[in-house]
Amino acid sequence: MPIFHNLNNSSLIDIALSRKEASQINTGAITVTTGKYTGRCPYAKRFVLEAVSSHDIYWSDNQSISIQEFHEKLMIMFDHLENLKSGYFQQDLIANHDKNHSLNLRVVTTKAWQSLFARNMFIIPSTEDLRDFKYDWELFCAPELGDDPFVWISFEKKQVLIGGTHYAGEIKKSIFTVLNFLLPEDGILPMHCSVNVDLEGKNSAIFFGLSGTGKTTLSSDENRLLVGDDEHCWSDDGLSNFEGGCYAKVINLSPIDEPQIWDACQKSGSILENVVINSDGYPDFNDHKLTENTRASYPLEFIPNVHSTGICDHPKNVIMLTCDAFGVLPPVSKLDITNGDLFEQFILGYTSKLAGTEDGVTEPRATFSYCYGAPFMPRNPLEYANLLVVKAIQHNVDCWLVNTGWVGGPYGKGDRISISITRKIIDAIHSGTLNSSKFIKHDYTGFQIPTQIPGIDTKILSPELMWDDIDDYKCQNDKLFKAFNDQKTKNRLLMHEHFHMKNKAHY
């Protein structure tokens, strides 16, 4: 039974192709399909109920397994690997560019393409670092093991077990979940966000946002350097990227609006996951028959203007992105740190699900994910939100809520705000032009909105002015803010339950 240790990209591609795990298309990228599961399985992730984590996991929104259950699954995993005639793959990798707060990983996979995925997504150690490499955590991924997905994490054993699903995103997200649990103990804020800086490596910006809000698109800017597109932390020294690559959502990817991501997807070493390939051998990014959650994995260096170290100074701006399909929210609002705006929006983590994205969703639906990444934040969301506010105040950060969704009506009636308009807003934030503008309180949402932005029609800044019927706007506004208030009540109840359970556990 062979063990393939630290194979390079070309070797892994050759094996993946020879074993028919993947196909190579005309551009040089490889394409894979993941079968039944084309996204994360929320019910699959579980934490071992053990002393090191039992009091600090947010059990109101997470599930546990026993130490015995984990041990039994681990033995099944070991037995499965030892009996694989085709062998398995090991990669020694690093999560987090900040070496003071990084994890050394050993990632074990049964699929060559998933070993390549791990090399794309994590940081490859230098030859010198590999000589004395000692891993802190092990991850075992055998997608063919079992019919039901499992992603089990033990903080005591420092191990992750994944099986029953071929979706590669579980590999990276499980390790980031580990970091998201560990780092707050040292006063470090882990964040599900993208980060970029200006061409001089200064004036950094954080972009929070759920899937479909434009986080990856807006942080990949030809006029700025990309630090990373998905996972970072904020320490006393500044910001650092957890990753060595990008895992971009590529449904409806456009070479005009997203040229950097488009080009990266065409290169050898990129993995296109569940992307439909036309008969001419080229990808059709507009075809969603396999899933809306089509993905591309590629190393950071495939982006031409990528930041060289993955580490930058404290941010000048924090930008929270939302795709409001109700057509209610202004395109941009300034959040007051001291009066609770920042805290509230971070805890809400609002965006919209669109009709057709899930079975049973026939009209826009408000959806919420605290800290803009609830499935990956195992601690009480209050811990993350308090850290964000403290750091934003400490470093005098300007904070914004940017709506990339609809104007003039809800989804199906209005129009989606164009990327060109959103980019002008983001550019005004980066340059400081927007911060020096005059702001007024919006009558309907209560947010602080600018009266003008250079190059943008002032009418769009007050969303009700884009509607044909103001009463229709008011109706949608009431509907959305009722959802906001319902979610706030739910969050309060969950957090109260968590503190009750935690305090009870101490007695």
Active site residues: 40, 173, 192, 211, 215-216, 230, 295
**Cβ partners under 8 Å of residue 339, min gap 6:** none
Q: Write the DSSP assignment of 400-467 as a string of letters.
A: EEEE-SEESSSTTTSEEPPHHHHHHHHHHHHHSTTTTS-EEE-TTT--EEES-BTTB-GGGGSGGGGS
The residue with tokens 């992730």 is 45
Query: Is the CB of residue 161 less than 8 Å from the CB of residue 77?
Result: yes
Query: Is the CB of residue 73 less than 8 Å from the CB of residue 106?
Result: no
**Cβ partners under 8 Å of residue 128, min gap 6:** none
In 251-316, DSSP assigns E strands to: 271-273, 276-277, 283-284, 295-299, 311-312
The residue with tokens 């800086």 is 197
Calpha distance 271→274 (Å, rounded): 10
Neighbouring CB atoms inside 10 A of 350's CB total 24
CA 18 to chain centre: 32
Query: Is the CB of residue 182 less than 8 Å from the CB of residue 114?
Result: no
For the chain, the residue count is 507
**Cβ partners under 8 Å of residue 96, min gap 6:** 102, 103, 123, 179, 233, 240, 241, 242
Query: Is the CB of residue 6 less than 8 Å from the CB of residue 261?
Result: no
